[in-house]
Amino acid sequence: METIGPFWNEPPRVELLQWLARGDLKQRLLQAVRLWVWLHFLYGEAGIKLNLPENFTYPEWRDAFFTATHTREEEIPALHDPKCRCAKTVAAWLFGSNFNLTQSKWKGELGKPEVQEKERSFEQSLREHHLLPDNLKELLHDTRLFGLTRRSLYGDLQVLIEIGWLKRQGNRYYRVKKYPRTPSSIQKSDSRLIAYNLDFLTQPDLAAIADNLSTRLNGQQRFFIHLEYVIPQDSIDRVEEWQAQLRELWQKEVVPPILLSYESAVWQTTLSVVVYPVCIYYYQRGPYLCAFGEVPQDESGKLDFRNYRLDRIQDSIPLSWEDSQVPVALKQRYQKNTLPIPDDIQLAIAEVWGFDYYQPAQLLLLRFDREWDNRYIRNTMRHATFARVAYQEVERLIRQNLKGEQQQKMLNIWRKRSPQDAYYQAQYRQGDPNVMQRLRAWRPNVEILLPVELREQARKEIEREWKNYEE
């Protein structure tokens, strides 16, 4: 936890909103912005912070936040008073000069260059992180951020409890004495490991279930998680050893770099690299150390992230930051206090599909037959960038990403497919084995249209697979 400051005044950066969204910011943008507003009125500076008792009920907050004519019932509030905060649009909250602007005063500011620049910067930041909703303009200018039912606002309070910004006893809510760590507070502070209760479960719905059902009910355990775990039995002790050692390192005032000896499955040899350990991430089938530093088998001297499965680590030796083995560029990152933090990894994984978050992003375009789509794909959450594409939009994507003969060939293939088929696009990490495993699991009901290199790889795999069944 972070010691409480005089007031809370974080700007609405994408990293913070992503943290508040606890998952897919593209789908939860409005709630993330709303939570950001909640925090200003609960912990903000004088003139913004609401005049509430030390512990308060929802009606007390409602009466302090909205005007007296705001509904006390369950319905969505009508536009009853231009001065009521339920009348303000999302844009007015995000880009207004202060939090007490009424909607009518905000409309007078819309034409100001500084307001327009704020909106352009916000949109560009979302675009760069592949989190831009298709209907952003409508969300910003036509949506009343707090024009919601009482039940929805109660839901916001519950989220604030879950992420450590409020406590509850009975029907009363208590402001915390220490702020939870946000992405910016961690960056400004040290690099020690932070525990967020159940926040390590990256799926918010799963974290909520675990929070509610992790304890026994009437003597019976009612909630279980089964994970595919590929770590060999004889390596479990080694995994525990590295976890314990890393825990000790992350509790130090200054986290040191480490000299890592790693048995690489890709290179089929033991590699030595100097890296800065960032966090442990369980992904799909095992625990990985996410580290930043030297890249195995790369003599260019560049720094980057890599993942190291814990059971394949042969040795890990802490070094001092003055050690001559530490790359100069990594020392400079330490001296400038710009070493990466776990939230950088979380954000990168949220932006692009795949656990190899350090690899370049690329457009993935897929086709499913309609029956398979109806059964297994439609209305499922694969990744924030995984989205349905209209049949007519496919042509534009092909023309945009291919040229010459490749373009014409793919257009001819697409035109032979049924318009009733389902198409999806996503941003994925090039070469990511986890994405490849998912695509293989969907065969023969999926067709890769883009990129053509991945399509060709799949074709060769299918040919090799077919040879196994030839009689």
Picking from 197-211, 240-254, 341-355, which range would have the lowest pLDDT averaged per residue?
Answer: 197-211
Query: Which of 220-234, 287-301, 401-415 shows the highest mean pLDDT?
Result: 401-415
> Is the pLDDT confidence value at 341 over 50?
yes
> Is the pLDDT confidence value at 257 over 50?
yes
> Mean pLDDT, the chain, as a whole number?
86
> Is the pLDDT confidence value at 337 over 80?
yes
Mean pLDDT throughout 258-278? 92
Bigger pLDDT: 428 or 3?
Answer: 428
**pLDDT grade, residue 4 (50/70/90)?**
very low
**pLDDT grade, residue 48 (50/70/90)?**
confident
Task: Determine the pLDDT at residue 216.
Answer: 66
State the alpha helices, DSSP H only, in 168-259: 183-188, 204-213, 236-250
Token couple for 179: 């702020």
Task: Determine the pLDDT at residue 31.
Answer: 92
Task: Determine the pLDDT at residue 206.
Answer: 63
Bigger pLDDT: 111 or 164?
Answer: 164
Picking from 58-62, 196-200, 342-346, which range would have the lowest pLDDT averaged per residue?
Answer: 196-200
Task: Determine the pLDDT at residue 202.
Answer: 61
Q: What is the pLDDT of residues 218-231, one digit of tens each?
A: 677 777 766 777 77
State the alpha helices, DSSP H only, in 190-235: 204-213
Task: Determine the pLDDT at residue 192.
Answer: 31
Query: Which of 104-113, 136-145, 234-243 shows the highest mean pLDDT?
Result: 136-145
Q: What is the pLDDT of residues 150-206, one digit of tens each?
A: 888 988 998 898 888 999 887 889 998 888 876 655 444 333 323 334 556 666 566
pLDDT above 70 as % of the chain: 89
Task: Determine the pLDDT at residue 3.
Answer: 41
Provide DSSP, 50-118: ----SEE-HHHHHHHHS-TTS--SSSPPPS--TTSGGG-BHHHHHHSSSTT--HHHHHHHTT-HHHHHH
Across the strands, what pairs with 426? 364
How far apart are alpha carbons 170 and 262 in whole angstroms? 52
Token couple for 327: 């790359």
Residues 6+ positions from 200 with CB-CB distance below 8 Å: none
Residues 6+ positions from 222 with CB-CB distance below 8 Å: 213, 216
pLDDT above 90 as % of the chain: 49
How far apart are alpha carbons 261 and 57 in whole angstroms? 56
pTM: 0.58
Q: Is 362 left (phi over 0), alpha (psi -120 to 50) or beta?
A: beta
